[in-house]
């Protein structure tokens, strides 16, 4: 899995997709990440900022990693088309 996300909502969508691919509920992901189900819901909705520690715990539970790279030169709408 190698997807690009630039907004909290896009990050949440990718996390939700990874969780559902594994057949996990939000509660199951929360247990694996050591968080509350409500925190998973907030992260997946992207409506409120998530704490970096929480986000990293979720990614680790999903066996995903956080990478930083140079921003591509595409248009914003190109990124939205991914979702």
Quickly count: other Cβ atoms within 10 Å of residue 79's Cβ: 15
Whether 2 is covered by a domain: the verdict is: no
Whether 17 is covered by a domain: the verdict is: yes
Distances 2 to 28, 64, 67 between C-alpha atoms, Å: 23, 10, 10
Average pLDDT of the chain is: 89
Using a pLDDT cut of 90, give the percent of the chain over it: 69
Is 7 strand, coil or helix?
Answer: coil
The reported pLDDT for the residue numbered 81 is: 59
The reported pLDDT for the residue numbered 1 is: 61
- Domain total for the chain? 1
| Per-residue model confidence as pLDDT tens digits over 38-68 | 999 999 999 998 999 999 999 999 999 998 8
**31: which residues sit within 8 A by CB, 6+ positions away?**
none
pTM of structure: 0.82
**33: which residues sit within 8 A by CB, 6+ positions away?**
40, 54, 57, 58, 60, 61
Domain residue limits at 33: 8-82
pLDDT at 18 over 60: yes
Whether 3 is covered by a domain: the verdict is: no
Strand blocks (E) in 11-74:
none
- List the CATH number of the domain containing 17: 1.10.260.40
């Amino acid at each position: 899995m190698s997807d690009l996300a630039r907004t909290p909502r896009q990050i949440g969508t990718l996390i939700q997709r990874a969780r559902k691919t594994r057949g996990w509920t939000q509660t199951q992901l929360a247990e694996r990440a050591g968080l509350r189900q409500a925190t998973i819901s907030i992260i997946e909705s992207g409506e409120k900022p998530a704490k970096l520690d929480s986000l990293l715990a979720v990614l680790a539970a999903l066996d995903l990693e956080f990478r930083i790279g140079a921003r591509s030169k595409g248009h914003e709408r190109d990124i939205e088309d991914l979702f």
